[in-house]
Amino acid sequence: MTDALVIGAGPAGLMAAETLARAGRQVLLAEGKPSAGRKFLMAGKSGLNLTRMEPLPRFKAAYHEAEPWLAPMLDVFGPKQVQGWASALGQQLFTGSTGRVFPVVMKASPLLRSWMERMEVDLRRRWHWQGWRGTGFVFDTPEGQKVLHPKVTVLALGGASWARLGSDGAWAPWLAGKGVKIAPFAPANMGFDMDWSAHMAPHFGMPVKNVALKAGDQLHRGEFVISERGLEGGGIYAVSRALRQGAALTLDLVPDLSTEEVAARLSRPKGKQSLANFLRKALRLTGTRLALLQEFGRPLPDGVALAALIKALPVPHQGPRPTNEAISTAGGVARSALDETLMLRALPGVFCAGEMLDWEAPTGGYLLTACLSTGRWAGQHAANWDRGAASAG
């Protein structure tokens, strides 16, 4: 009989596997892809954002309604502990101007390589979980079909985004068939489709900087990108939850100026200048910001009405990009399906961790921190579950 099984070798699964091994369990780590941490490596290509330096109450608030659920896990393994963990793996860290924490080398591969070298687990690659046969976990493997009957199991299967990297949500109906409540998947941290006019084509691929985005009660000052398909990037991701839930998007194109200051500058004589030149000189409104104003504000009004438009430009969109293109997903294993140790109530001895749980957070270090934290929590409780059951009996 297998002692401890972990399915999924992303950050949550790796953390659970290492935690189990350090507790003295013999761990078989099953990964469907040819190598571990594929989404982790992909996310790190543009700079591995490990966590965020900010007060812990503010950090936990980023998880919205899941905050009370995740808080005990983040209290014991939050931003400070993630930094200590990365440093112990030989990574020198730095904190950016927005509080985001990165390795100095920026890439994920050195950290992952050091982590894998330290880990004392039996990693099985190209082991594709196919559900259950009775109480056994069925895998398609390069050596043929295998059925395992572990003493304890941690599922760390990811959400339903980036299927080519392993997170395809295929596990959801299997768990639902065992009586586990699954909240429907929805895209999170995703771009939004736009029906651009022809005049926007020269701006495709260009960043939009020095703006504030407002959606519902969310206000975020950040950068995003105009793409051929729509709007993408960190600023959009930060308000994507509110947009998905139906809030309208508006842009403040000059967030350092009040509406009154904008109106005062626009009241100056325009003379023979074109409106574009006038806006450039009066407000330093150029490039992509000016293009967005012309795209969504035509015909442009005058005076106070123009000032109000510049401070709250409505940006209609055609909805979010598909779930498989999202950075992460909302939905997954419902909180009610798990006890406080992250064990499935319907499947004693089976724990869950990471993005497959029904929580949602913005990019900026929150996603990875919660994956590591829940993986550690599930691993610790899984390590002692059958031992506790045995002593209780």
pLDDT computed for residue 182 by the predictor: 98
Q: Are residues 172 and 28 in the same domain?
A: yes
Number of domains in the chain: 2
Q: Alpha-carbon distance 244 to 365, whole Å?
A: 21
Tens-digit pLDDT profile for the chain (393 aa)? 789 999 999 999 999 999 999 999 999 999 999 999 898 888 777 789 999 999 999 999 999 999 999 999 999 999 999 999 999 999 999 999 889 999 999 999 999 999 999 999 999 999 999 999 999 999 999 999 999 999 999 999 999 988 888 889 999 999 999 999 999 999 999 999 999 999 999 999 999 999 999 999 999 998 999 999 999 999 999 999 999 999 999 999 999 999 999 999 999 888 888 888 999 999 999 999 999 999 999 888 888 999 999 999 999 999 999 998 999 999 999 999 999 999 999 999 999 999 999 999 988 899 999 999 999 999 999 999 987 644 333
Q: Are residues 361 and 269 in the same domain?
A: no
Say which CATH number the domain at 114 has.
3.50.50.60
pLDDT computed for residue 272 by the predictor: 85
Question: Do the beta carbons of residue 243 and residue 267 sit within 8 Å?
Answer: no
Q: Are residues 304 and 335 in the same domain?
A: no
Q: Alpha-carbon distance 7 to 16, whole Å?
A: 10
Q: Are residues 41 and 183 in the same domain?
A: yes
Any idea of the CA torsion for 237, 238, 243, 245, to the nearest 10 degrees?
110
Q: Which residue has the tokens 């504030």?
A: 212
Residue 223: domain span? 192-314
Q: Are residues 249 and 379 in the same domain?
A: no
Q: Alpha-carbon distance 132 to 71, whole Å?
A: 32
Question: Do the beta carbons of residue 230 and residue 194 sit within 8 Å?
Answer: yes
